Amino acid sequence: MTTRTNGDTVTIDYVLRKSDGEVVGNTQQVGPQAVELGSGQIFPQIEQALTGMEVGEEKTVSIPSDQAFGARNEQLVIDIPRSNLPPEPTPQPGMALQAQSPDGQPMTLHILEVGDQTIKADGNHPLAGEDVTFDLTLRDIKQAA
């Protein structure tokens, strides 16, 4: 029986669901994910769930919003003058914009509404405020050297 330990690289399949059951991501979209355990690449709850799992085993992990993508912050919903945007591409709801936070860190904004003079954009992660569930399948373990 081969189980994982920190430093190992595991390959997992996952399905990510919101609390209402809506699937919002999975490895069918992006392919199996290789993760080095103990490196902080994934939620700690998922690393914990992978502890002791065998190849082929499945587990479900639920993570509350405050431990997943955080609470929504309505201060991150902002109006931006259209004159501050490049002329192309034409802004559309759902489009992502790259910006800098006040402390100079890169951030992604998602356009909510487009008006004649301004656009409304949201700097929250799309899953902020959502409890999420991961259905995991451990596909492979490459043990650390």
Residues 28 and 54 both lie in one domain: yes
> Which pLDDT band holds residue 62 (cuts at 50, 70, 90)?
very high
Q: Could you report the per-residue pLDDT of 69-113, keeping only the tens digit for each?
A: 999 999 999 999 999 888 888 999 999 998 888 788 898 999 999
Distance CA 4, CA 6 (A): 7
Residue range(s) defining the domain that contains residue 105: 74-122
Residues 63 and 133 both lie in one domain: yes
Q: Could you report the per-residue pLDDT of 121-130, keeping only the tens digit for each?
A: 999 999 999 9
How far, CA to CA in Å, does 29 sit from each of 16, 23, 39, 63, 95?
A: 11, 11, 24, 21, 19
Residues 81 and 56 both lie in one domain: no
State which H helix or E strand residue 50 sits in: helix 44-50
- For 114, how many CA atoms within 13 A lie in the half-sphere containing its CB? 13
* Nearest alpha-carbon partner for 112 in 126, 94, 124: 94
Q: Could you report the per-residue pLDDT of 6-33, keeping only the tens digit for each?
A: 788 999 999 999 999 999 999 988 899 9
